[in-house]
Amino acid sequence: MKKIELKKRYSLLVAMFLTSSLYSDHYMAQVIPYQIHSVEAEIGGVVQSIALSKEFSYIDKPIMIIKLDTTNEEIEISYLREKKNILTEALQLKNENLQSKSSIKQISKYELNQESILTLDTKNALTSTLMELKVRENNVEKKKFYLSGGYLGKIFVNEFEYVSPGKKLFEYFDFSKSRIDLFVVPEDIENINNKRIFIDGVQTAEWRVEKVSKVKDNERVSTYPVRLVRENKNQKQAQFGKIVKVEFQK
């Protein structure tokens, strides 16, 4: 009986502790980059070049991070461009022939219609070639991956490796803002946008409430997700990872 009573008292103390922690007057959270982006291959190919020296560094001006081999596409593009030139010239000649025949009264309507059909066929072939050429040119661009104004994280592929569509190539971070994600109790949610924000005991105007969820968190069921953000004027010097104490005061 005594053991059962002790267990009950222990359970009650634990519940009281959790409740007091839940309604704490401050929150501990980590400062993180505003967003993390993953770049994936849209079409497959062999990795031709990688800017490995830029891994884990801030990229200011546009540079190519990864390039997949485009040899086959370049061959097809060269062929399609030549085909386009031939069809363009052929269409011009057919149009001239059609106009010349149209001015001759002895030409039958059937013969004119046949000439018109040939002209339309050439025009259709040219249109299809232009569309195919555009697709090939787009595929070439889809095999080149650039980055600017962001922090390059880990690169997940190696040179000469074949990557399939959907393969994760690299990730980069948006340093334009810093972010703090909190799980706030209902008492602090009320009128939170008008409350003063304190970081490590110091009131700050740099941080602001960006988002407040109207739905409680699935895991921390008694709290609401809240996001604080701060603009980073000097993105290169931005620091992340620090654990800070956050308070909301009226």
For 115-145, write each residue's pLDDT tens digit. Answer: 888 999 999 999 999 999 999 999 999 999 9
- 80: its two tokens: 């399609």
Q: What are 231's strand-pairing partners?
A: 177
For 58-67, write each residue's pLDDT tens digit. Answer: 999 999 999 9
Task: Give the whole-number percent of the chain exceeding pLDDT 70.
Answer: 90
Check if the beta carbon of residue 130 is closer than 8 Å to that of residue 87.
no
Q: What is the mean pLDDT of the chain?
A: 89
For 195-211, write each residue's pLDDT tens digit. Answer: 999 999 999 999 999 99
Length of the chain: 250
User: Is the pTM above the cut of 0.85?
Assistant: no
Burial readout 210-219 (b: 16 or more C-beta within 10 A, e: otherwise): eeeeeeeeee
- 202: its two tokens: 């110091």
Q: Say what the pLDDT of residue 150 is.
A: 95
Three-class DSSP category at 198: strand
Alpha-helical runs (H) found in 143-211: 186-189
User: DSSP secondary structure string, 62-87?
Assistant: -EEEEEE--HHHHHHHHHHHHHHHHH
Whole-number Cα distances in Å, 168 to 7, 39, 97, 117, 217: 51, 6, 55, 49, 29
Residue 54 CA to residue 72 CA, distance in Å, equals 28
DSSP 18: H
Q: Say what the pLDDT of residue 25 is.
A: 76
